[in-house]
Chain A
């Protein structure tokens, strides 16, 4: 079945540590997105990529980095520069006008 796979489901980060969240899709979608979800704030766009080897900053890109070396993969790194990384992270892919297909999310907690 086609879909988006995010891993891990739960992730714990120590202060000063970089962590990478995985996102893989087999839908053959060109565009991929990373969102952060916090209670009461809805989904906020971190980064997006419309084609391989190209990506753009979203509304809250500071402290995050991405790569898009393959169409199927769009990993997100949460760096030590992100001061409040505890959140639910959602990866999505999209074809024009048809809305998003979301992964099941990664819950990141700072310990």
Chain B
């Protein structure tokens, strides 16, 4: 079993839809949770960062962490064609290496 599981998609939604992206994990030492967005042929860029459990909102993006269930989510409201990318979840205990999910490819159709 992988430490981090992420549905690879692809996920195709119409413009304006609410998108839900999810990851599950098995390592209870993880405390820092991140979401990266990666456009084709580019390096990933940090989108959202949360520490421990709870919600964090940034514009159209909301990250949720449920440590009791070992489950994290990223919600995108009013999705735009420019949101079309691969979304990677990532997590770490702090000073240790970061463990990544395999990524979910999202396509937002105009």
Contact = CB atoms under 8 A, between A and B. Distances in A.
Interface in B26-75: 31-32, 34, 36, 41-46, 49, 51
Nearest to A102: B43
Interface residues of A, number: 25
A81 interface: no
A53 interface: no
Contact of B94 (A42, A96, A105): A96
A104 B42 contact: yes
Interface of A is mostly: strand
B26 to A, nearest CB: 15
Contact of B43 (A58, A90, A96, A98): A90
12 contacts: A6-B43, A42-B102, A43-B88, A48-B97, A88-B41, A97-B31, A97-B92, A97-B94, A100-B36, A102-B45, A103-B43, A105-B42
Interface of B: 6, 8, 31-32, 34, 36, 41-46, 49, 51, 88, 90, 92, 94-95, 97-98, 100-103
Interface of A: 4, 6, 33, 40-43, 45, 48, 58, 88, 90, 92, 94, 96-105, 107
